Amino acid sequence: MASVTTSTGVFSGLDTASIISQLMAVEQRPLQTLGVKKSGYQAELSVFGKLKSSLATLSTAAGALKDITTQTMKASSSDTAVFSATATSAAAAGTYSIQVSQLATAQSIYSSTFASESSEIADLSSITTQKLKIQVGSATAKDITINSTNNSLSGIRDAINAANAGVTASTINAGFEISAANNTIVFNDGSSRTATLTAGTYSGDALSAELKRALEAANGGADTYTVSYDATSHKFSINNDSANVNAVDLLWEDPLSTASALLGFSASDHASVAVSTSAVGDSAVGGYRLILNSSATGAANHIKISVDEDNDDTYAEAGAETDTTGLSRLAFDATYNSSGAVAGGVANMSQTAAALSATLVVNGLSVSRDSNTVNDLISGVTLNLLSKSTTTTPTLIISKDTQSVIDDVKDFVSAYNSASGLIRSVTSSSPTSRALLAGDGAVTSMLTSLRNAITTTFGAYAPATLGITHTKDGVLQVDSTVLENFLKDDLSGAVDSLNKMGKAFNDNVSFFINTSIPSRTDGLNQLIKRVDQSAASLQRRLTLTQQHLTRRFTELEALIGKLQNSGSSITQQLQGLN
C-alpha cells in the first residue's frame, strides 16, 4: 500500500494524512491476520521438513539392520605398522602368521645431465621427426613423437606425461655428479700430470673451485688457474693465470681424461692454453636430469624405453639407436639381477629405485605379489603392506564381526531417539506454551507406530530380549553386553530378529517419508498459496481504498475553500451596504 502524502488541510485545518493513515490501519488488520496465518503454516512446513530428515536417518539405520548377515567378518592385525587388513563376508575364520620380507617398489630411472631444461635432446639436423616408445611391464607401449616443437628436456618431459605411458616424468637440477668413473683430467705443463676430482655432487661454482684445487694439487702449486662456470652459456672456462711460466696442454682426448664429457670438452686434441689465456668448454653442460617414475610397483613392471632416430618405425636398431648420443641418451632396456639391480642390456639412463615385488611368508609359505595391496592371497581378505617385519612375525586373525552388528544397533537406537524426541517436542504442550503440532493426529500416530514396533517380537526374539529397551520417558537404549552374548550364543537367531526388525521399521518409516509427510506438506503449500492470493487481492483493495479516501479529502478541502471564498464575498457586499 502506498504511503499517505496528503498534508494538513489548507482550508479545513484538519491533519488529513493522519486521519487517512488511521483509517487505513483499521482496513489493514485482515492483511496482518493473513501474515500471521502464513507464518504459522511456514513454521509447520519447517517442522515437517525436519521430521522427514530425521525419519530418513532412521530409515537408513533400519536398512543397515535389515542387511546384517551372519557372515560379517573382521580382520585384525597384531602389528598395524607392518600391515593392516580388511575382510568381507567371503572370508573364513582363521589365524595366519605373516612376515613381510620386502615391500613392492616402483622403478625410478634418471638420465645423464643436460645444461638446462631447454637443452635439445635429439639431433634433428637430418631426421626432423624421431620417436620414443615407452612400455611398463606388459602394458601397452606408447609412442611419443619428438620434433622441433618438443625437442627439449622440458618438452620431452611434458610429452611423456601427456602420453599416459604408465610413468611420471619430471626434471631436476641435481648438479654435477663426480664419481670414480669421471674424476680425472690428464694435462701437461712441461711434465705429465693427472688431476683427480673429489667424488661428490657439485653446483657449477663449486665444481669450478674443485677443478682449480685438483689442477693446482697435481702440479704441486707451481702454477695457478682461474676456473669459472658461466650460468648463461653453461660452459666451464679454465684460465692459465698471468703469473704462470708454462703453457698447459689439457689432454681431453686422452682415454684417462674421464672428466672430459662432464666438463663439456670434446675428446679431441685442443690447443695448449698459453699464459693469460683460457680454454672454454666445447659444449654447454649442467646438472639437469630427466627422471621417470613407474606408476606400477613390482618386478614385472620394469620401464623400457626404445628409440627410433631414423623414423623408420623400427626401434632400438643396434648402434645408432642404442648409443649415448642424441635421443638415444634416453634408451633403456636393461637386464637385472635377483636383487633388482641393473646387470646389463641397454642402460643409457641410471636406476635409483628398483622394481621389486612384495615378498611374504604366510604360515611358512613364501609368496610374492607386485603390489602392496594384496587381495588374492587369502579369500575375502585384503592386506595392505606397510613395512618390513624383520624381527617379528605379526598375526592376522579373521573372526566374526559382532562389534559391527552392535555398532549398527547403536546407530539405530540413536536415530530412533532423535526421531521420536523430535516428534514429542512438536506435539507435547507445556502448561505455559502450546506445541506447534499439538493434537495433530497424523504426527502423533507416527510416534505411536514407532513405540508399537519396538515392543513387537521379531522372529525368535523381541528387541528387549536382545538388550534393546526403552525408559519410562520413551528413550531407547541398548545393553551391549546382553546383545553381544546373544550374538555369540545364537548368531543366526539374533541376526534374523534384527533383520526383521530393520525391515519392519524401514517399511513403516518409508510410509511416513513417502506418503504421510508429503501429503501434509503439499496441503500446507496449498494453504500458503491461498494466503498469498488473498493477501494480494486484499492489498489491491487497500490501495484503491486509500486512493478513494485521499480523493474524497481533497474534494472536501476544495469545497471548504469555495465556501470560505463565498462567505468572504458576502461579507464584503454586506459591508458595502453600510
As a dihedral over the C-alpha atoms of residue 210, residue 266, residue 316, residue 131, rounded to 10 degrees, the angle is 90
CA atoms of 253 and 266, how far apart (whole Å): 7
> What phi and psi, each to the nearest 5 degrees, are found at residue 371?
-120, 155
pLDDT of residue 556: 76
CA distance 7 to 205: 92
C-alpha span between 362 and 94 (Å, rounded): 13
DSSP 172: E
Summarize pLDDT for 38-91 with one digit per residue, the tens. 787 787 788 888 888 888 998 899 899 998 887 788 899 999 999 999 998 889
Residue given cell 489548507 in the structure block: 10
**Which triple of cell numbers denotes residue 264?**
663439456
CA 19 – CA 7 distance, rounded (Å): 10
* The pTM of the whole model exceeds 0.85: no
Contacts of 113 (CB under 8 A, 6+ apart): 174, 176, 177, 262, 285, 286, 287, 288, 289
* Residue 509 burial class via C-beta count within 10 angstroms: exposed 0-12, middle 13-18, buried 19 and up: buried
83 membership: H or E segment, kind and range: strand 83-87
Taking CA 150 as the corner, what is the angle to CA 146 and CA 152, rounded to the nearest 5 degrees? 100
Q: Which residues contact 365 (CB under 8 A, 6 or more apart)?
A: none
Burial class (CB within 10 angstroms; exposed 0-12, middle 13-18, buried 19+) of 394? middle
Q: Indicate the burial class of 510 (C-beta count within 10 angstroms; 0-12, 13-18, 19 or more).
A: middle
At residue 541, the pLDDT reads 83
Pick from 236, 313, 232: nearest CA to 278: 236
Instruction: Please give the pLDDT value at position 229.
Output: 97
CB neighbourhood size of 329 (10 A): 18
Q: Phi then psi for 288, rounded to 5 degrees?
A: -80, 135
Question: In this structure, what C-alpha cell is assigned to residue 25?
Answer: 490501519
The residues pairing with 194 across neighbouring beta strands, listed in sequence order, are: 186
Q: What is the pLDDT of residue 489?
A: 86
Tell the residue number behind the cell numbers 612376515, with chain if given. Answer: 99
Which pLDDT score, from 0 to 100, does residue 490 have?
87
Q: Model confidence over 280-323: pLDDT tens digits?
A: 999 999 999 999 999 999 999 999 999 999 999 999 998 889 99
Per-residue pLDDT, 563: 76
The DSSP call for residue 175 is: -
* Strand ordering across the sheet containing 167-173: 167-173, 288-297, 106-110, 350-353
Give pLDDT tens digits along the chain (578 positions).
555 444 455 556 677 778 777 877 777 787 788 777 878 778 778 888 888 888 899 889 989 999 888 778 889 999 999 999 999 888 999 999 999 999 999 999 999 999 999 999 999 999 999 999 999 999 999 999 999 999 999 999 999 999 999 999 999 999 999 999 999 999 999 999 999 999 999 999 999 999 999 999 999 988 999 999 999 999 999 999 999 999 999 999 999 999 999 999 999 999 999 999 999 999 999 999 999 999 999 999 999 999 999 999 999 998 889 998 999 999 999 999 999 999 999 999 999 999 999 999 999 999 999 999 999 999 999 999 999 998 889 999 998 888 888 999 999 999 999 988 888 888 877 777 777 777 777 788 888 888 888 888 999 899 999 999 988 888 999 999 998 888 888 888 988 999 999 998 888 888 888 888 888 888 888 888 887 787 787 788 878 877 887 787 777 777 777 777 776 666 666 666 65
The one-character DSSP state at 461 is B
Whether the CB-CB separation of 275 and 240 falls below 8 Å is answered with: yes
If you ran DSSP here, which 8-state letter would residue 86 be given?
A: E
